Structure 1
Amino acid sequence: MAGDRDTLISMGFDPSRVDWALRATGHRGLQPAMDHLLEHEGEPIPDASASGGSSLASANTAQSTPAMDVDGDDDDAEALRHLIGKKGPVPAATAGDVEAKSIKCSVCEKTFKNTALANYHAEKSGHDQFEESTEEIKPLTEEERKTKLEELHQKLAAKRAVKAQEEAKEAKANEAIKRKQGKDLNKIKEELKAKEMIKEAEQKRKEKAEDAKARAAIKAQIEADKKARAEKAAREKALREGRPIVDSQSETNSGIPSSAAVASSSSGVAGKDFKDTRLQIRLASGGTPYTTTLPSDSTLHDVAEFVAAQTLSVSVDTVSFTQQFPRKTFSRADFNKSLRELGLTPSAVLIAS
């Protein structure tokens, strides 16, 4: 791998030997390549094509490891000219010239064994001023190699530690995001549940109020029916006994009105002062009664239209209304009279059939 190759070259190993070590170890990693370099130090580098490598690998190896021999090399000289730049062309070596044993960076004054290492330094540092040097770079001693290997291990361990910290930090951040999303989702669910509960409670209150109204109306009707039956029984008994029949709605012989007459009279007088009339309409066929509030000036025909709008079993033209107490059947002529005129204010119970 390019990363392992660059690391080994930065430690001072010859690029051609680094390539040999990586090929020989099958690119299994930094440690096997390092072990191979230490074990085969000083041994000649085998030909890459002879060992089964591709011609392209051989060419890459040859280009990456120009030799710094006494006689000079055209490729190495060309690379050196590129590095030296404004320093001018490299003079040809003569018998009286001093042999260049290394390349020196004029910026940081580091020396390198060959142009490959100098090129690597130029790419990493951005330095572009190099010159030939007679300083010979001595090979690393066993102790120096162990020290460099230890430094390498420490760098790798530090990189792994930094990476582990970054991964842990990222995992923690992701976990925090997940927890926040979970809290937000739970909050939304709780709000929806609370709204649903409020809606259900409101619906139950409404149904309870409607049930209470219906029960009150039924109870009032039962009481009215009971009273009507009692009055009927009293009249029949009076007929059997030969006593005069006293109408509950007329005044007695003493001039004192009966309780029913008083109630009817009181209701009629008070009804004139009510602007609206509350009606409960029961169907003769049964079912839930209908409750409505109409202006007291509305006609019985308006009531018929209301009932017809509530159920298909009632028609405006054929419907008839009766009142249990006081018992009364309204004619078609009464349909043009107002509720106030018919004595239905402020409230009344009608049976539609």
Structure 2
Amino acid sequence: MAGDKDTLLGMGFDPARVEWALKATGNRGLQPAMDHILENESKPVPSVENVSESSAPASSAMDVDQDEEDAEALQSLGGVTANAVEAKSIKCSECGKIFKNTALAEFHAEKSGHDQFEESTEEVKPLTEEEKKERLAELRAKMAEKRSRKTIEEAAEQRANEQLRRKAGKDLHKVREDLQAKEAIKEAQQKKRDKIEEAKARAAVKAQIEADKKARAEKAAREKALREGLPIEDAGASTLAAVAAHPGASTSGVAGKDFKETRLQIRMSTGGQPYTTSLPSDSPLSAAAEFLAAQTLTVSVETVTFAQHFPRKTFSRSDFSKSLRELGLTPSAVLIATP
């Protein structure tokens, strides 16, 4: 467009660069051409034939004579008729500035936000060399400020993105550490449970071995007493063991009824360590149930049952009111408890 070219030349730009900018931007207006000149001011000017035009084609109205175009623009802005006085410029009603053509007026409107324009017969004086230099310096300063502001904004955005990335990395690291700590605690608790279960299993095996050993000893003592014709008393394992240790002992020894206390060893049918206590021989069997309930906290006095292996005997609920002496458990006995 001839008007844009005259404006750029009037601002002091090199004619070759003006031609290059107009062709490269496809004659889309003053602002794109000016931006192209400032952005490429340090580059050498190529041959115009080698410059490819922008993909946006220039309007056919650009070939119209500038005077006719300005007249039409002024008519649309101010409603003037063809018979009106010829307008030589466009004036901004808000700030009073005058412009040579519509392109400069549009540029001013875009930058200032003003939208009130009128036709004017005032002629725009051409810029002096000093004014051209000042205008060019002003434009370059604005472009430099724009680039600097853009650089600062990009740097700030990069810093913000880096901070977000670091924070996300720290959060992920903390989550992993928390998971590892929880897994370690879980593993330690499992190992502790495994050790407890292993210790319980060893204790149960050991208790079973001891029970079997004692049972064999009681059985051997009973069989020996039968062979030698000695009386068999329901006095528990200790009495039978005493008989086995002293085969020549007389039946006139101390009878179970003369013991004031009875020593009981109570074993759970489910395994585990035995419980030992001494109770008065006149205490009922329910006292042994109460003792066991207090020791385990899982056995109920109302539901627990007792039995003996040698001699084999199971005590009924009616036996719980009988004394240990009446049940033949003195001076000692081994009871098997079932919860």
Q: TM-score, normalised by structure 1?
A: 0.55
Map residues 72-83 of structure 1 onto 2, 5 A cutoff. 73=68, 75-83=69-77
What's 2:66 paired with? 66
* 2:310 counterpart of 1:327: yes
Task: Identify unmatched segments of 5+ residues in structure 2.
Answer: 27-32, 243-250, 266-277, 321-326
Q: Distance in 2 between matches of 1:263 and 1:140?
A: 129
Map residues 47-196 of structure 1 onto 2, 5 A cutoff. 57=58, 59-62=60-63, 66-67=66-67, 73=68, 75-84=69-78, 89=81, 91-92=83-84, 101-124=88-111, 125-139=113-127, 141=129, 144-196=131-183
Q: Deviations over 1:25-47 (max 9, x none)?
A: 46797238976xxx9xxxxxx9x
- SS in structure 2 of the partner of residue 348 of structure 1: strand
Q: Distance in 2 between matches of 1:174 and 1:52?
A: 38
- SS in structure 2 of the partner of residue 103 of structure 1: strand
Q: Distance in 2 between matches of 1:217 and 1:102?
A: 113
Q: Distance in 1 between matches of 2:208 and 2:56?
A: 112
What's 1:263 paired with? 263
**Pair 231,32 (structure 1): closer, same or farther in 2 beyond 3 Å:** closer
**Pair 226,154 (structure 1): closer, same or farther in 2 beyond 3 Å:** same
Map residues 165-314 of structure 1 onto 2, 5 A cutoff. 165-231=152-218, 248-249=238-239, 253-255=252-254, 257=256, 262-264=262-264, 266=278, 269=283, 271-273=285-287, 274-275=289-290, 293-298=298-303
- For the Cα contact (< 8 Å) 1:112–1:137, is it kept in 2? no
- For the Cα contact (< 8 Å) 1:103–1:113, is it kept in 2? yes
Q: Distance in 1 between matches of 2:231 and 2:97?
A: 139
- Cα offset for 1:138? 1.0
**Pair 13,61 (structure 1): closer, same or farther in 2 beyond 3 Å:** farther
- Cα offset for 1:235? 6.7
Q: Deviations over 1:141-195 (max 9, x none)?
A: 3x55454444333322221221122122222222222333333333333333333
What is the number of residues matched between the two proteins? 276
**Pair 205,137 (structure 1): closer, same or farther in 2 beyond 3 Å:** same
- Cα offset for 1:207? 3.0
Task: Identify unmatched segments of 5+ residues in structure 1.
Answer: 40-45, 68-72, 94-98, 279-290, 304-321
* Bigger relative CO (Cα 8 Å, ≥ 6 apart): 2
Q: Distance in 2 between matches of 1:188 and 1:106?
A: 65
Q: Distance in 1 between matches of 2:76 and 2:10?
A: 24
**Pair 12,90 (structure 1): closer, same or farther in 2 beyond 3 Å:** farther
1:337 maps to which of 313, 316, 337: 316
